[in-house]
């Protein structure tokens, strides 16, 4: 399933991981300017870029769940990396 998150959900997710923009830039291989613009709500991401971010979040214990056309996130503390 393709998960689409908005910039506020993205900020919350990054916060749960205690990552800064540089951390995400290095892990997802997405330009820092793209990350910064998206975080400010100044840009929408391409689906491919969005999926990169979601994949990196999921690989680092974040789970996205869709319920009634809404996306919820949770951190799985049982995953050890």
Q: Let me know how long the chain is.
A: 81
pLDDT of residue 52: 93
Q: Does domain 7-75 have CATH number 1.10.260.40?
A: yes
Confidence band for 81, pLDDT divided at 50, 70 and 90: very low
Asked if pLDDT for residue 12 goes beyond 90, the answer is no
pLDDT of residue 68: 67
The model's pTM: 0.80
Asked if pLDDT for residue 24 goes beyond 90, the answer is yes
Give the domain ranges of the chain. Answer: 7-75
- pLDDT tens for each residue of 30-72: 999 999 999 888 999 999 999 999 899 989 888 877 776 666 6
Q: Which residues of 20-43 are buried (b: 16+ CB within 10 A; e: fewer)?
A: eeeebbebbebeeebbeebbeeee
């Amino acid at each position: 399933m393709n998960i689409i998150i908005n910039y506020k959900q993205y900020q919350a997710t990054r916060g749960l991981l205690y990552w800064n923009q540089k951390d995400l830039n290095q892990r997802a291989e997405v330009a820092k300017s793209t990350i910064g613009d998206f975080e400010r709500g100044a840009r929408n991401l391409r689906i491919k870029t969005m999926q990169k971010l979601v994949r990196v979040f999921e690989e680092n214990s974040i789970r996205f769940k869709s319920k009634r056309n809404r996306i919820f996130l949770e951190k799985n503390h049982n995953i050890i990396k």
